[in-house]
Amino acid sequence: MEINNNNNNYRINSNSQIESDNDEDLMVQIPGIFDLTGKNNIPPSLFLLVGSAGTGKSMYCRQFIIDGILRSDYCIYISPSMTEKKFRSLFPKLEAVALNRSSKFINPYLRIDTRNIAKNSNDTADDQDKLRLTLAEIHEILVNQKRENDQNNSSSIHGHLENSKIKDLSSSSSSKGIAIRVVVDSLTQFFVLFGESAVLKFIGELSLLLKEFEASAIFTLTGSLTSPNSLTNAVSSMVDGILEMRLEEGKDASLARSIRMVSINGIHHKPAWIQFNITDDGGLVFGDQSTITSNCTMCGKPIKGTPLFDSEFPFDSIMCMETYRKLTALYGSNISETGLPSQVVNINFFFIDIVGLSNPSLSVKKQIDKIEILNKLIGLCDVFAKAKEKKIVLPTGDGMAIGFFMNPESSLQLAIQLHSKLSIYNRGKSDGEILGVRIGLGSGPVFIVNDINGNQNVWGPGIILARRVMDIGDNLHILVSSNMAESLIALKDEYKTMLKPIGDYQIKHGQTLHIYSAYSQQFGNSEPPAKMVSQH
Amino acid sequence: MPKSIVFHSYKGGTGKTTLAANYAALLARKGFRVFLLDLDVYAPSLQTYFEMEPDRWINDFLTGDTELNDVVVDLTSIVIGNNYVNNSSSTPSSAHTSSANGKLWLGFSNPKKEEIYKLEGGKQEKVQFLRRFIVMREQLFSNFKADYVIVDTSPGIRYWSINALAIADVLYLTLKSGDLDIAGTKKMVSEIYSSFTKFGAKPYLILNKVAGYCVPHQSIQPIEHSSGTLSTSSIVVQQEQEKESSMDSLSRETGISVISAMPCYCDIQFSKKEYLTVLRNPQHLFSKKIEDLAQQSQIQML
């Protein structure tokens, strides 16, 4: 699953983390990066963000942190005037688990050095201790993150060596590891609480530390660059770039916010003012919002500003995108041409594949022959050829899935009829020519979707279940999910003798399937599947 | 933080509507802005529960025929009094709110068969309806400043119950203690719920109508145990122990915590007329259970 935001490409990995396409270097984004620089991302940099009160500096920092947590970066928020509770309240839409895992809030003013508690030192010394303790805490966090990155990279490299074809998706967002984001909001409050010289020393040491660990950071300062003071100049010399915000009265008496990148070391940019809006939920929307480019896939509303993307589908909010992701997790990613599910039905599935088709000693010609023979044999079965009920056939390469929309007996009857025809076909054949199959039957809800060719397709728990049941079996097994078997047994007595429970089988995610096997002297395989034997 | 809480079940008759309605009323009485939506579109019942015949229904909003202001009905008065307030006199976006003064609005689903058929319309229509449903959720939180959106869904795995589950922050899966319910619930947890919990939705089981209280509660003198739970006699103590054992077993089998086990209260179960027990009789053991559920879920949501 891919997400595109601010023209950057990301993938959602198996741990629901977001991966960048760029695996070579550690690159980061700041809010509005494309509008500000014309680039998708930049190397880790430290920024001074200057603007008068109310321009939106803290909201910009908030967006910087949200973007970081959504990308599984590690975020540190330093504020001398905020409490942990207030910090958390800034992110009502982020899961507490993600916030706990990927962020740390530090209020230097509330630091207490236990070693000095008994010491009756003066205020200045106390304040310096608090800044020193803050630096020590940040250093410890950075060291721990680096250690985790190194471990992840090490295991990732090991994984690559073991199987070069499988990309390790379980590690962090790039080969260099999890990016670090730091916000210091605001330096103005730092100067008031700790004094100028102590804070400048703190910023100097912190900036060196952050550069050493390749962190990105934003330091906010209330003021204006048009009349810079000595503090602004001093802080500017310690960072890589300067961002400036302004607030003007618009034509309709509304407030118009804008931001520009005044400077950034070594990166070409246009220092033009870029408009931005703060939305009702606190998000930042950059650029000309009069241009509506698309509609949200989930809610259908026009998207102002830069949309969020999941695959090719645009969204106007994280909430909409997450709802879409919940639905796609259930119904599959290509759920319809609009990206949304429309029709759910209960289907009885017959899932089959040819045993040993991928055997390397079997020529491609023989593989194709076997597939064609299987197709023909199924076509000869009455229940398939003459059934009046609606059905759907989905080729799978080495077999197929057939969904019957009405009669739960159809899939079992098809399996029985096919086994009868197979026994005739295989008579007198050599080992290499024998056509072996395994069959899984199951029923459940699926969505009707249109595939990329405009053909009708289905996806959902029903077809997944049948596939999993089939995967347990060996040659000649007709395995049946418990829900379908119990429905059939309740339907006709003859199925009681035909369908036998053979036990539980645990599949991935700890899910247990209760399996029945359909067999008699004429069809099926009375032996327990090897996978079940080995599991038990 | 605003939350969507969805009451769902594998089978019908598990008490979703009663639990959702009482839960919503209790939260409103605690001072929250609560919107209770009837998304049991195939068999709506909240309008009967609240004796309402609204001018506009959720169906009208989903089909794009009206706006949300016209659909939600302010029933705050039932939380603080006995009279229903007509929605024309109070709209959610204009109503005065404060954390000390809870609000309860309801959105009803139209029980007319042609309206139910309409929601099962063609493919394109369904997509549009789903989009409107997502807009409804968004408007309730952003425009109407909802603290809680409580949704009563259709049982089982159906188009509208799945849509409702997709917007849930918290999923309450109600079930009775019979084999059929438990087997169906386990199936639904493995096939459906895992898709939602993967993206942060928190599921809990509510074991409802547990046997053991089949006398009107007025005749029972509650006693308090060291564990803090209320029960009524030594027989009930034994039943409590059995109940806890079945809760543990259910949690293990489904991988989902049982957040509450609600006894079967005959005075509620066999009442000819539905009513909100938490308001009519706050001292009722059922009301205490709902109170406990609200407290537990608020802690779990932290």
**Residue B131 is nearest to which of A16, A298, A319, comparing CB atoms?**
A298
| Residue in the structure block whose two tokens are 């009208």 | B60
The alpha-carbon gap from B256 to the nearest alpha carbon of chain A, in Å, equals: 13
Q: What is the pTM of this model?
A: 0.49
Distances (CA, A) of A11 to A42, A357, B79: 19, 33, 48
Q: Highest mean pLDDT range out of A135-149, A205-219, A249-263, B265-279?
A: A205-219
What SS3 class is residue B247? helix
- Do residues A351 and A440 lie in contact, with contact meaning Cβ atoms separated by under 8 Å? yes
Question: What's the pLDDT band for A412 if we cut at 50, 70, 90?
Answer: very high
Q: Work out whether the CA dihedral A172, A177, A178, A179 comes out positive or negative.
A: negative
A526 pLDDT higher than 50: yes
Q: Highest mean pLDDT range out of A36-50, A265-279, A409-423?
A: A409-423
A18 pLDDT higher than 90: no
Contact residues, A window 499-518, toward B, CB-based 8 Å cutoff: 509-511
Higher local confidence (pLDDT), A524 or A169: A524
Higher local confidence (pLDDT), B233 or B161: B161
User: Is the CB of residue A344 less than 8 Å away from at least one CB of chain B?
Assistant: yes
What DSSP string describes B4-68?
EEEEEESSS-SSHHHHHHHHHHHHHHTT-EEEEEEE-TTS--HHHHTT---SS-HHHHHTTSS-H
- Do residues A1 and A305 lie in contact, with contact meaning Cβ atoms separated by under 8 Å? no
Rounded average pLDDT over B218-236: 51
Please give the Cα distance from A435 to A424 (Å, whole number): 11
Q: Strand order of the sheet with strand B103-107?
A: B73-74, B103-107, B33-39, B148-153, B3-9, B170-175, B202-210, B258-263
The pLDDT tens digits for A375-390 are 889 988 988 887 777 7
Lowest pLDDT segment from A178-187, A522-531, B72-81, B232-241: B232-241
pLDDT at B227: 52
Closest alpha carbon within chain A to B188: A461
A360 pLDDT higher than 80: no
Distances (CA, A) of A52 to A191, A247, A259, B2, B84: 16, 8, 12, 32, 50
B218 pLDDT higher than 60: no
Q: In chain A, what are the domains?
A: 20-291 (3.40.50.300), 292-334 (no CATH), 345-534 (3.30.70.1230)
Interface contact flag, A300 B135, Cβ < 8 Å = yes
A497 pLDDT higher than 60: yes
Complex-level ipTM beyond the 0.90 threshold? no
A417 pLDDT higher than 90: yes
- Do residues A525 and A416 lie in contact, with contact meaning Cβ atoms separated by under 8 Å? no
The pLDDT tens digits for B249-265 are 778 878 888 888 887 77
> What is the DSSP code (8-state) at residue A55?
S
**Residue B159 is nearest to which of A298, A300, A344, comparing CB atoms?**
A344
The alpha-carbon gap from B48 to the nearest alpha carbon of chain A, in Å, equals: 29
- Locate B17 and state its tokens: 């509507």
- Strand A456-459 to strand A437-450: parallel, antiparallel, or no bridges (unpaired)? antiparallel
Rounded average pLDDT over B95-119: 78
Please give the Cα distance from B74 to B80 (Å, whole number): 12
Return the amino acid letter for A418: L
Interface contact flag, B192 A461, Cβ < 8 Å = yes
Tell which residue, A492, A486, A480, A483, has the closest CA to residue A516.
A480
B295 pLDDT higher than 80: yes
pLDDT at A113: 54
Higher local confidence (pLDDT), A28 or A356: A356
pLDDT at A441: 96
Interface contact flag, B130 A323, Cβ < 8 Å = no
Distances (CA, A) of A56 to A50, A62, A243: 10, 10, 12
Give B201's contacts in chain A (Cβ within 8 Å): 326
Angle at B131 between CA B126 and CA B135, to 5 degrees: 145
- Strand B148-153 to strand A216-222: parallel, antiparallel, or no bridges (unpaired)? unpaired
User: Is the CB of residue B129 less than 8 Å away from at least one CB of chain A?
Assistant: no
Q: Highest mean pLDDT range out of A348-362, B101-115, B176-190?
A: B101-115
Give B124's contacts in chain A (Cβ within 8 Å): 342
Mean pLDDT of chain A: 79
Q: Which of B123, B143, B151, B169 to mutate to test the interface with A (most CBs of A within 10 A)?
A: B123
Closest alpha carbon within chain A to B131: A299
Interface contact flag, B127 A325, Cβ < 8 Å = no
Closest alpha carbon within chain B to A17: B199
Q: Residue A143: beta bridge partners?
A: none
B191 pLDDT higher than 60: yes
Lowest pLDDT segment from A163-167, A455-459, B271-275: A163-167
Rounded to the nearest 5°, which phi and psi values hold at B238? -65, -40
- Residue % of chain A over a pLDDT of 90: 32
Rounded average pLDDT over A423-433: 86
Please give the Cα distance from A155 to A406 (Å, whole number): 50
**Largest Cα–Cα separation, chain B:** 59
The pLDDT tens digits for A120-132 are 445 555 778 889 9
Please give the Cα distance from A312 to A337 (Å, whole number): 11
Interface contact flag, A299 B302, Cβ < 8 Å = no
Q: Highest mean pLDDT range out of A68-72, A364-368, B282-286?
A: B282-286
Interface contact flag, A299 B159, Cβ < 8 Å = no
Closest alpha carbon within chain A to B159: A344
